[in-house]
Structure 1
Amino acid sequence: MNEDPTVGKPADSSVPLHPLLAERWSPRGLDPEVELTDKQFTALFEAARWAPSWGNTQPARYLAGRRGDEAFTRILSTLSRGNHGWAANAAVLAIGVTRTVDEEGEPLPYGEYGLGLATENLVLQAVSEGLVAHQMAGFDREAARAEFAVPQGFEPLVAIAVGARGTTDELPDKLREKEAAPRSRKPLSDVVFSGNWGDPTFP
């Protein structure tokens, strides 16, 4: 066993953060035995449903399945080869879809932003339940559209795996190295400016 799955990688932040934020990261080593309760499964998408959105347009939609059901298998089939192997151990797989046009067929502003907010709610709800979530760009959007008959005016944007941490024993060496690597972010001085662009608020 390569690691203790109960040990996380808390954020090395400049000031203390809420535990939901500090403990959130995106492991690939998932426990293939853990299942979500009906309540936990529902809570993921209830959390997403209550995310803020531009003008309360609520653009986020999800395709969702639990390990062992048909929807899970169909979502898994759309994942890239690099994600397919480890994501099969997830308790839940989902694809986040954003609405791109309104009822009149006009472009819907901030749809991607709305889906991002909703999905972060979903992820943090998972963390609050002692679970983990990993968001993926590595999936075939058109395959997902065809597999689930996603209509025009909606765009699949992200795949999400939710489950419980397991070991990294079965991961390829490259992914095992990523799993063990420390988390890092750009310093605040590169992210937040006051006055002119590039003048750091937090030197």
Structure 2
Amino acid sequence: MTGQFPEIKRAATSAPPHEIIATRWSPRAIDPDAEVPEESLRAMLEAARWAPSSGNTQPARYLLGRRGDSTYDRIFGALTRGNKAWAHAAPVLLLGCAMTSNAKGDIPLAEYGVGLASENLVLQAVAEGLVAHQMGGFDPDAAARVFALPDNVRPLACIAVGRLAAVDELPDDLRDRELAPRKRIPLDEVAQAEWGRPAFG
């Protein structure tokens, strides 16, 4: 059953960011019956492709798994047990990887580049009316092995994509966390004019 955005998850800010940013979050309740349109997937990966990167080295690579195919099964198999408890409902799983070198040598800030690309991908998912949950809880060595990745390709994160479901679709132990307000450190800690002195009065 598809769910509605819970307002308790809206970002509490001192200045209003774009609605796509304010409503981006990482839900675990994903509708197992809702599909992700191919055009939405293409748009998400185009958004990732056009992310900035150091020297335009473009280190981000994604393995795209659709429920029922072997890529999906291999990504799912690399997840931790805790993530498997909810991610099985997602119709799409991605494995984000960094190309750490190319023909010219090592790629600087490759992981940073994948982070930029992945945020583009996730925000585009929100724009498409979807949800996307990034996960560090997986076995990167197992992922590299089952996909026979080259030595210069490093698995960094998995991403579950789908449509939001009602929270009662989740196991009992995850429901409270799903409905808890999101928290961030204060802006004064993030933005500083000098170390220890907030940038905003």
What's the TM-score bracket when you normalise by the shorter of the two chains? Answer: over 0.9
What's 1:56 paired with?
56
**Does the residue aligned with 2:82 lie in a helix, a strand or coil?**
helix
| 1:170 Cα deviation from its structure 2 partner | 4.2
Corresponding residue pairs, total? 199
Relative to the length of structure 2, the TM-score reads: 0.94
Cα distance in 2, alignment partners of residues 148 and 12 from structure 1: 40
Q: For residue 171 of structure 1, report the CA deviation from its aligned partner.
A: 2.7
Question: 1:12: Cα distance to partner?
Answer: 0.9
Higher strand share: 2
Aligned residue number for residue 177 of structure 1: 176
Instruction: Judge conservation of contact 2:4–2:166 (CA < 8 Å) in 1.
Output: no
Partner of 1:117: 116
Partner of 2:45: 45
Distance 1:141 1:192 in 2: 33
**Mapped partners of 2:145, 2:131: distance in 1:** 28
Query: Residue 85 of structure 1 aligns with which residue?
Result: 85
Higher helix share: 2
* Structure 2 counterpart SS, 1:71: helix
- Please report how far the alpha carbon of residue 102 of structure 1 lies from its aligned counterpart in structure 2 after TM superposition: 2.5
SS of the aligned residue for 1:169 comes to helix
1:49-108 per-position Cα deviation (integer Å, ceiling 9, x unaligned): 01011111000001111122221111111100000121111121001000112214x321
Identity of aligned residues (%): 54
Gaps in structure 1 of 5+ consecutive residues? none
Partner of 1:15: 15
Matched, 1:68 2:68: yes
Q: C-alpha root-mean-square deviation of aligned residues, in Å?
A: 1.4
**Corresponding position of 2:24:** 24
User: 2 CA distance for matches of 1:69 and 1:43?
Assistant: 21
How far is 1:168 from its partner? 2.5
Residue 195 of structure 2 is matched in structure 1 by: 197
Amino acid at match of 2:70: E
Q: Where in structure 2 are there 5+ consecutive unaligned residues? A: none
Q: Distance in 2 between matches of 1:48 and 1:35?
A: 21
SS at match of 1:149: coil
